[in-house]
Amino acid sequence: MDNQEAVAQRVTYALGVLLLELLTGRKAFDSSRPRGEQLLVKWASTRLHDRRSLEQMIDGDIAGTFSSRVASQYADIISLCTQVEKEFRPAVSEIVEALTALIQKQNKEASSSVADKTDPFNTLLSI
């Protein structure tokens, strides 16, 4: 592995940490937390794929603003970035593509949800 690849893998990891901070509202390292919760990635890594744990991890300020399916896919992206095996971390460009697709999916779900609530025809279909 050359130096550029090593740097790229570290950047991907750092992006994953940032995404996790945004999801949880927590710092990457917080000495005020109990010992097992001080390192955010270590604490979160086992919880990212459990739906109930994932929902509990989400920052209260953003909870409920996206579906559990979107949260799960976001967690998958975080896991790819922060996996221990450096050589399996995707390029940042791949993460950007995955996040872009996820945002588009979230926007589509949100607009569909609004349309369902405001469109009398959709209301009738649900009766």
Which of 59, 56, 65, 51 has its CA nearest to residue 27?
59
DSSP class of 30: -
Question: What is the reported pLDDT for 124?
Answer: 39
Low-confidence ranges of the chain (pLDDT < 50): 119-127
Q: Are 13 and 83 in contact (CB under 8 A)?
A: no
All structural domains of the chain, each given as residue ranges with its CATH number in brackets, are 3-126 (1.10.510.10)
> What pLDDT digit, counting tens, does each position of 30-53 carry?
999 999 999 999 999 999 999 999
Burial class (CB in 10 A: 0-12, 13-18, 19+), 124: exposed
Q: Are 98 and 74 in contact (CB under 8 A)?
A: no
Angle between helices 68-82 and 92-118 (to 10 degrees): 170
Q: Are 29 and 38 in contact (CB under 8 A)?
A: yes
Question: What is the reported pLDDT for 123?
Answer: 38
